């Protein structure tokens, strides 16, 4: 991923936040000599620098066949929003842009098909996402019809080898431009714009703290 230094982030806490916001990711691998992508809800865990995702494909999805041994890419999508130069202090000397947060995670996949592991995975996924919508429904791994259904999926564990975090939030602009763009996005409203504006203000606050630290104030 092309990431200018101003937009590169090394703190994996930002990955935690992006996944917590939206764990529906894009998995990209190679199948029959060409790029192949699947969009998946995943379970995420991090222990220090160790990052792991778990999920499953529908068995007819060919991505799982031959994926072991490949370097696989997971794209974790964050909020994004259009930014107009009219929101800056000198609109005539700037151009439109798009602000966004995204993470590319590279690693290897281990495939599993045993019923017990699949049952555990689906039960955890169901508990996580049913709770998020206020539902008490849970997957019963002991029910025979559920165990039969598990034969229609293939599970995987993805262990990260490299993480690229990119927060493109006008860090290369003067503070007045960042504030102007954030204020405009807040006026427009909408989930995406408000999320981007919040990230912009957060990074701007960190810029101020870094300057104070350098100045010794």
Structure tokens, 211: 């300057």
Percent pLDDT > 90 in the chain is 94
- At residue 146, the 3 state secondary structure works out as helix
Place of tokens 């190679």: 30
User: Which H or E run includes 153?
Assistant: strand 153-168
Q: Is residue 79 a contact partner of residue 199, using CB atoms and an 8 Å limit?
A: yes
- According to the model, what pLDDT value does residue 35 have? 98
Domain presence at residue 28:
yes
Domain presence at residue 206:
no
DSSP 73-87: EEEEEEEEEEE-GGG
Domain presence at residue 212:
no
- According to the model, what pLDDT value does residue 214 have? 55
212 — pLDDT class (breaks 50, 70, 90): low
Digit-coded pLDDT (tens) for 155-175 = 999 999 999 999 999 999 999
Look up the domain containing 64 and give its range: 5-80+93-171
Output the domain CATH number for residue 102. Answer: 2.30.110.10
Residue 189 has pLDDT above 60, yes or no: yes
Domain presence at residue 216:
no
- According to the model, what pLDDT value does residue 210 have? 63
Digit-coded pLDDT (tens) for 42-78 = 999 999 999 999 999 999 999 999 999 999 999 999 9
Domain presence at residue 69:
yes
CA distances from 182 to 78, 91, 205 (A): 17, 15, 13
207 — pLDDT class (breaks 50, 70, 90): confident
pTM above 0.85, yes or no: yes
Domain presence at residue 215:
no
**Averaged confidence pLDDT in the chain:** 95
Domain presence at residue 11:
yes
Instruction: Write down how long the chain is.
Output: 217
Total domains present in the chain? 1
- Per residue in 169-208, is it b (16+ CB within 10 Å) or e — as a string? bbbebeeebbbbbbebbbeeeeebbbbbbebbbebbeeee
Reported as half-sphere exposure (CB side, CA atoms, 13 A), residue 152 has a value of 5
CA distances from 180 to 8, 76, 79, 82, 196 (A): 22, 28, 19, 13, 13
Domain presence at residue 75:
yes
């Amino acid at each position: 991923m092309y990431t200018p230094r101003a937009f590169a982030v090394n703190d994996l806490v930002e990955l935690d936040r992006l996944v917590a916001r939206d764990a529906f990711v894009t998995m990209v691998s190679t199948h029959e000599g060409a790029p192949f992508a699947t969009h998946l809800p995943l379970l995420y865990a991090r222990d220090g620098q160790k990052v792991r995702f778990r999920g499953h494909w529908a068995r007819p999805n060919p991505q799982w066949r031959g994926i072991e041994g490949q370097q696989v890419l997971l794209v974790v999508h964050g909020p994004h929003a259009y930014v107009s130069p009219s929101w800056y202090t000198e609109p005539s000397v700037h151009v439109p842009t798009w602000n966004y947060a995204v993470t590319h995670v590279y690693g290897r996949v281990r495939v599993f098909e045993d019923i017990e592991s699949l049952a555990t995975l689906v039960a955890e996924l169901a508990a996580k996402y049913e709770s998020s919508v206020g539902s008490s429904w849970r997957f019963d791994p002991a029910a025979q019809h559920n165990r039969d259904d598990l034969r229609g999926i293939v599970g995987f564990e993805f262990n990260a080898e490299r993480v690229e975090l990119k927060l493109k939030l006008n860090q290369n602009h003067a503070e007045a431009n960042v504030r102007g763009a954030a204020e405009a996005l807040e006026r427009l409203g909408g989930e995406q714009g408000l999320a981007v504006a919040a990230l912009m203000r957060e990074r701007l606050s960190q810029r101020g703290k870094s300057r104070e630290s350098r100045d010794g104030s």
